Structure 1
Amino acid sequence: MSKNVTLPHQQGSTDAGPGEPLLSVEGLEKHFPIYGGFPFRKQVGAVKAVDGVDLQIYPGEALGVVGESGCGKSTTGRLVTRLLEPTGGKITYAGQDITHAGRKQLAPIRSEIQMIFQDPFSSLNPRQTVGTIIKSPMEVNGINPPGGRETRVRELLETVGLNPEHYNRFPHEFSGGQRQRIGVARALALEPKLIVADEPVSALDVSIQAQVVNLLQKVQSELGIAFMFIAHDLAIVRHFSQRVAVMYLGKVVEVADRDSLYTRPRHPYTHALLSAVPEADVDSAKKDRIRLSGDVPSPIMPPSGCRFRTRCWKATEKCASEDPPLVQISGNREGHLTACHFPEEPTLSRGKDVVLDPALAALEDGHTAKD
């Protein structure tokens, strides 16, 4: 990264105290109503996309959020940024309750919580130039950096590895990786304290994924920005995140530091996810593979008790009647939380690295391919 870009935060923003989480989520819920009936429509059910999520993100750290499609990862990210209104639970940012905060209360902290969207093309206005797209957040928040907004935008473009001369170009003139860099520059325009990255590399080629992930990692380390990194790719999550939360059907089933979770997973679902990652050693992959039976249950009518029990090889009557809390269990490292009545034994289950592709393996060595 060629330059560090800094912008003053808006007045009225708050800071988390020493050792306090920047963002805390307790019992977070989002239920989307289902309507039916004729001639009078009424609510007949609800899709429980997020149903009791507990998470903490500390200043400057990267929390990875993983899980199957439909588990509620993206919805959780939109709730945290208050793009969606929560059905229940509590969201605390820097000690301030923002669960149901109105526009005026959210205004001072909007610049501190930014989002990078999954699709690098649909998240950019095709009728606006790159300069206008990145400059707009500064205009909305009334920020006039030294040297002017155009100068700052050109510095941001250089920061994310683009040519400052791209200022007057339109999104369709860029590749997918370049568009995602534009999205990163827009998120950095207000120097946020927290960025929610919703699968920021899933739509990109593997070699381009490496570039964007390394860019985000440099941004985190040099600017001290906290990340909520949502992804399917376990190899990328391991490279980027310091802690990892595993979600299943609207709930968090395991949270731990990166090394503890990847080498000693305690929840059966986490163990199954890690065993499904392809490895170079074909024989080893065949031995360790865990094939889950059945499909993911519907979030409209989730199973009673433990939601994973319908696909778990350890399930008993207790799993059907009691919902296991997310707590630290015996044999876990401090801070390793698991929601399971019958957790896996804390034995070394995998090797040092989980790598899907040689291009991603270069991440560990700090190498990237050129776009």
Structure 2
Amino acid sequence: MTENTTTKAVEPLMVVEGLQKHFPIMGGFPIKRKVGAVQAVDGLTFDIKPGESLGLVGESGCGKSTTGRLITRLMEPTGGKITYKGQDITYAGRKKLAPIRSEIQMIFQDPYASLNPRQTVGTIISSPMEINGINPPGGREKKVRELLETVGLNPEHYNRFPHEFSGGQRQRIGVARALALEPKLIIADEPVSALDVSIQAQVVNLLQELQRDRGIAFVFIAHDLSIVRHFSERVAVMYLGKIVEIADRDSLYNRPRHPYTHALLSAVPETDDLDGTKRERIRLSGDVPSPIMPPSGCRFRTRCWKAQDICSSQEPPLVQLSTSKPGHLTACHFPEDPTTEKHAEDIVLDPALQALEGDA
């Protein structure tokens, strides 16, 4: 007798399709009119599964932070579609978004600018609960003190002001505020880039514990590849408003297929090998093109050592290559050799992060 053990696929928590954000450029006198647009985000498609950590990496100005603000609906998209738990929230109004706002929270990059200096820590963390009319058992103050303890701060600091804390402690306050409404998805916009290196590992470890213990999905935006490798299960690489490669962590770091990903990995700070030889280093020529007038075809072609005529006339679709691991998508006409495995030692972790990986 054969037992039917068909496993039901996990439904994505959020699905993003063809997401766009173009900022208009106004010119002319005396009547202002639109003369162009900054194509900050231009056609992103990806999904986020419940409890998953998705890393979003790329150079400064590639559209990572804008993407984070779009999927939290802090910005209005120009085009595309955002679906959360099967519900279209792309252009949803305040009333429709109200029950969803509590489930999608954000941790901001600058812990000094994201906290109101005139409010106490207790007020900062309890405000989301007050706005959403949430009265937890035991009251809001008890909940705030529990959250402070959860993120590694003293509950007695409830009545202190932000200026009395260090940068790492302020970021922990930001994490506590994001947890106040028990979200299902947190967008972490470069949460450790403004912190000392010695503190970064502690905050990353805290976020990882919260994700594991509470089953929260994360979109972890960063430009530090070693931190993203430590935190994220899947990684998406952005260049000039588009995703050029997306794959699980091991597949992307050990077998990058897109030339830009290959170049990013080669640029990670390194130490010389024991025999005195240095690893391959790829130095891209020129600067990132302007998002006002991006190159035709493949946007990376103006800096790519593999570019040919087809790259200027046809934009490569983000697809799975026949030799790629399932779920490893690449947008390139001439992808890298899939057998490249030397990148396993290309990523040099910060010593503190390396110690954390050793404990895992």
TM over 0.5: yes
How far does residue 95 in structure 1 lie from its aligned partner after superposition? Answer: 0.5
The whole-number CA distance in structure 2 between the counterparts of 1:187 and 1:355 is 31
Counterpart of 2:320 in structure 1 is 328
Tell me if 1:342 matches 2:334.
yes
How far does residue 149 in structure 1 lie from its aligned partner after superposition? Answer: 0.4
How far does residue 363 in structure 1 lie from its aligned partner after superposition? Answer: 2.5
Number of residue pairs aligned between Structure 1 and Structure 2? 351
The whole-number CA distance in structure 2 between the counterparts of 1:335 and 1:94 is 21
How far does residue 137 in structure 1 lie from its aligned partner after superposition? Answer: 0.4
TM, length-normalised to structure 1: 0.92
Counterpart of 2:15 in structure 1 is 24
Counterpart of 1:5 in structure 2 is none
The whole-number CA distance in structure 1 between the counterparts of 2:345 and 2:15 is 31
Check whether the contact 2:230–2:353 (CA below 8 A) recurs between aligned residues: no
Residue from 92, 95, 101 that aligns with 2:83? 92
> How far does the alpha carbon of each residue in 1:299-321 deviate from its partner, in whole angstroms, 9 at most, with x for none?
00000000000000000010000
How far does residue 40 in structure 1 lie from its aligned partner after superposition? Answer: 1.2
Check whether the contact 1:65–1:231 (CA below 8 A) recurs between aligned residues: yes
Instruction: Indicate how the Cα distance of structure 1 residues 57 and 322 shifts in structure 2: closer, same or farther if over 3 A, else same.
Output: same
Check whether the contact 1:206–1:360 (CA below 8 A) recurs between aligned residues: no
Give 4+ residue runs of structure 1 displaced > 4 Å after superposition. 282-285
Instruction: Indicate how the Cα distance of structure 1 residues 225 and 108 shifts in structure 2: closer, same or farther if over 3 A, else same.
Output: same
Specify the code of the residue in structure 2 equivalent to 1:343: P
Counterpart of 2:43 in structure 1 is 52
The whole-number CA distance in structure 1 between the counterparts of 2:135 and 2:72 is 24
Counterpart of 1:288 in structure 2 is 280
Instruction: Indicate how the Cα distance of structure 1 residues 285 and 354 shifts in structure 2: closer, same or farther if over 3 A, else same.
Output: farther
Secondary structure of the residue aligned to 2:226 is helix
Check whether the contact 2:54–2:219 (CA below 8 A) recurs between aligned residues: yes
Check whether the contact 1:238–1:258 (CA below 8 A) recurs between aligned residues: yes
The whole-number CA distance in structure 2 between the counterparts of 1:285 and 1:327 is 36
The whole-number CA distance in structure 1 between the counterparts of 2:155 and 2:19 is 41
Residue from 289, 293, 313 that aligns with 2:305? 313
Counterpart of 1:135 in structure 2 is 126
Instruction: Indicate how the Cα distance of structure 1 residues 261 and 304 shifts in structure 2: closer, same or farther if over 3 A, else same.
Output: same
Specify the code of the residue in structure 2 equivalent to 1:236: I
Specify the code of the residue in structure 2 equivalent to 1:28: L
Check whether the contact 1:196–1:227 (CA below 8 A) recurs between aligned residues: yes
The whole-number CA distance in structure 1 between the counterparts of 2:158 and 2:250 is 41
The whole-number CA distance in structure 1 between the counterparts of 2:182 and 2:94 is 20
Instruction: Indicate how the Cα distance of structure 1 residues 358 and 87 shifts in structure 2: closer, same or farther if over 3 A, else same.
Output: same
Specify the code of the residue in structure 1 equivalent to 2:300: F
Consecutive unaligned residues in structure 2, runs of 5 or more: 1-7
Check whether the contact 1:279–1:356 (CA below 8 A) recurs between aligned residues: no
Tell me if 1:203 matches 2:194.
yes
Secondary structure of the residue aligned to 2:44 is strand
> How far does the alpha carbon of each residue in 1:311-334 deviate from its partner, in whole angstroms, 9 at most, with x for none?
000000100000000000021000
Counterpart of 1:354 in structure 2 is 347
Specify the code of the residue in structure 1 equivalent to 2:328: H
The whole-number CA distance in structure 2 between the counterparts of 1:209 and 1:268 is 29
Secondary structure of the residue aligned to 1:59 is coil
Q: How is 1:84-233 mapped onto 2 (pairs within 5 angstroms)? A: 84-233=75-224
Specify the code of the residue in structure 2 equivalent to 1:263: N
Consecutive unaligned residues in structure 1, runs of 5 or more: 1-16
Specify the code of the residue in structure 2 equivalent to 1:145: P
How far does residue 141 in structure 1 lie from its aligned partner after superposition? Answer: 0.5
The whole-number CA distance in structure 1 between the counterparts of 2:291 and 2:359 is 40
The whole-number CA distance in structure 1 between the counterparts of 2:167 and 2:279 is 37
Secondary structure of the residue aligned to 1:365 is helix
Specify the code of the residue in structure 2 equivalent to 1:255: I
The whole-number CA distance in structure 1 between the counterparts of 2:15 and 2:149 is 33
Check whether the contact 1:279–1:285 (CA below 8 A) recurs between aligned residues: no
How far does residue 28 in structure 1 lie from its aligned partner after superposition? Answer: 0.2
Check whether the contact 1:195–1:227 (CA below 8 A) recurs between aligned residues: yes
Check whether the contact 1:306–1:324 (CA below 8 A) recurs between aligned residues: yes
Check whether the contact 2:270–2:346 (CA below 8 A) recurs between aligned residues: no
Instruction: Choose 353-362 or 144-153, whichever is displaced more.
Output: 353-362
The whole-number CA distance in structure 2 between the counterparts of 1:110 and 1:353 is 40
Specify the code of the residue in structure 2 equivalent to 1:365: G
How far does residue 352 in structure 1 lie from its aligned partner after superposition? Answer: 4.8
Aligned-pair identity in percent equals: 80
Aligned CA RMSD, in angstroms, stands at: 1.4
The whole-number CA distance in structure 2 between the counterparts of 1:294 and 1:311 is 6
Secondary structure of the residue aligned to 1:288 is coil
TM, length-normalised to structure 2: 0.95
Check whether the contact 1:49–1:250 (CA below 8 A) recurs between aligned residues: yes
